[in-house]
Amino acid sequence: MAATEFDLLFTNATLLTADPAQPTLRHADLGVKDGRIAWLGGTVPEGTRARRRIDASGKVLTPGFVNVHTHAILSMVRGVAADLGFAPSYTPGIPKGPQVNPEQARALAQLGALEALLFGSTLVGDNFVHADVTTEAMAELGLRLTPSWRIHDVDFARVADGEWIYNPAIGERTLRAGLELAERWRGNPRVQVQLATHAVDTCSDAFLREIAGVAERTGMVVNTHLGQSQVEVDRVAARTGRTSTQVLEDSGLLNARLMGGHCIYLTEDDMARMARAGAHAVHIPKCNAASGRLAPTPALKRAGINMALATDTQHADMIELMRWALATARIQEGRVTDEWQPRHVFEMATLGGARAIGQAAHIGSLALGKCADLVMLDFARPHLVPHVEPLGNLVHTGQGRDVQMVVVDGEILVEDGLPTRVDMHSVCAAAEQACRELWGDVGREYWR
C-alpha cells in the first residue's frame, strides 16, 4: 500500500461509517483512489503520497446522504404550501407543474439540487415535470441522481378542482418521456433513471399494469406515492374496492423494485404485503408532520420493511430529517426504545436509501471498494461539543449547515460550504426570478 498514491486522503478523522461491522472509527484515515474508497481505518504508512491531503482532525466523515424522493421544482411553493394542508399538486391557488416553463424548471431544479448538495446529500431522487431539463440542470452540480418524469394518466389540471379524469394520451406522453429520459442517461455512472408512477389514484388500473410491464422489461426502479392522503385512500377504494397497496400488487408493481413514498395510510395487511414483496418505504417525516400527519414507522419497522428517508418538498436537510424520524417514531412508541436509536435513522438516511434504489453494493456506507461519496462535517462548533458520542451529536444537534465538504466519486463538489461547479448566488438569483414570474401568473403579489 505504501506505493499507492491516493487522489484524496483524509487523516485523523472520526468516521461514522453506517457499516454495522465497524460503525465508528476514531483517529482514522480515509483514502480515495479512482473514485473509490481505497483505505479505511488506521493511519496510512509513513511516506504514503496523496495528490490532496486533508487534515480532518476535529471533523466527522459520514457517507453521503441518500435523499430518494424530492421535487426540486416545488421549491417554488416554499413558505406557502406547507400551510395549506395538502400536497401542492392537489391544492388550488398556487403555481402548478404544467405552468412551469423549461427555463423556470431549470432554475428551480438547480436551486433544489444545490440546497440538497450543500447539506450533504450526494444523491437526489427527483421527479416532476420537465425532467429532461431538470436532470441536465441538476447533473451540472455533479451529484448522483435517480430522476424521473412524473408519470400519470390523470389530468392534473382537473385534480385541484376535485375531478379525477384518466386520459390515455397523458399516460402515453408521460411514460414515453420517462423512457426517453432513461435512454438519454443510459450508462452514466451518476444518473440512474426511475419510473416515478405518481400514485395509485392518479394512475388508472390499465396504466398501472402497463407501467409494471415496462418496469419488468427494463428492470427500472418504480418510485410512487403510497398511502399519502385520505383523498388517495378514498378515491382508490371507490374506484377499485381495494387499498392502494393491493392495487399495486394486482398490477404487478409490488416487488423489491418498488419504493412507496409517505406510507401514512396503510393497514397492517398492506404492510405485511409490502414486507412479503420486499418493497421499500420512503419515510418523509417533516412533510408529513407539517401537514398534521404521521407515518406508522414503528409498525413499518416491525413488519420488516426497509425504510429510506426523503425531504420531498420540504427543505433538503437530511440531518435535521433524521431527528424528525427519530422523534416521530418515539412519539408513537410513547418512550425511548432500542429499536429507535440514532444508528437506525442514520441507516435510513444512508444505507436504507441505497437499498431502496438498488445501489447498496456501491453507495450508502463508508466501506473499502465502495464509491467515495462522503461528507465532512465541522464538529468543532459549540452545538457539537463534547465528542462523547459523535453519532448522537449528529442526529440530535447536527445541521446541514455543519457540512463543509461533499465528495461524489472522489470529486469534491462542495468545499468550505460552497459548491465547486456552480456559483451559488447565480443559482439563487435565477430561481428567485422564476418564482417571481410563476407567482405573478397566479395573481399573488411577490414580496419584493
Does residue 210 bind Zn ion (CB under 5 A)? no
Distance CA 346, CA 392 (A): 10
DSSP string, 184-247: HHTT-TTB---EEEEESTTS-HHHHHHHHHHHHHH---EEEEES--HHHHHHHHHHHSS-HHHH
Residue with cell 495528490: 51
Does residue 312 bind Zn ion (CB under 5 A)? yes
Nearer to Zn ion, 312 or 320 (CB): 312
Total residues binding Zn ion (CB under 5 A): 1
Nearer to Zn ion, 226 or 434 (CB): 226
| Least distance between Zn ion and beta carbon 86 (Å) | 12
Specify the stretch interacting with Zn ion by CB under 5 A; choose among 250-258, 290-298, 307-315, 398-406.
307-315
Specify the stretch interacting with Zn ion by CB under 5 A; choose among 8-16, 305-313, 317-325, 416-424.
305-313
Answer for the pair 395, 106: CB distance below 8 angstroms, yes or no: no
Burial 75-86 (b: 16+ CB within 10 A, else e): bbbbeebbeeee
| Least distance between Zn ion and beta carbon 88 (Å) | 9
| Least distance between Zn ion and beta carbon 397 (Å) | 28
Nearer to Zn ion, 16 or 356 (CB): 356
Distance CA 376, CA 281 (A): 28
Q: Which residue is nearest to Zn ion (CB)?
A: 312
Specify the stretch interacting with Zn ion by CB under 5 A; choose among 94-102, 141-149, 308-316, 380-388.
308-316
Beta bridge partners of 191: 145
Nearer to Zn ion, 197 or 393 (CB): 197
**Among 111, 146, 115, residue whose Cα is nearest residue 131:** 146
DSSP state letter for 400: G
| Least distance between Zn ion and beta carbon 69 (Å) | 6
Does residue 201 bind Zn ion (CB under 5 A)? no
Three cell numbers at 257?
423494485
Specify the stretch interacting with Zn ion by CB under 5 A; choose among 51-59, 195-203, 304-312, 404-412.
304-312
| Least distance between Zn ion and beta carbon 227 (Å) | 12
Contacts of 382 (CB under 8 A, 6+ apart): none
Binding site for Zn ion (CB under 5 A): 312
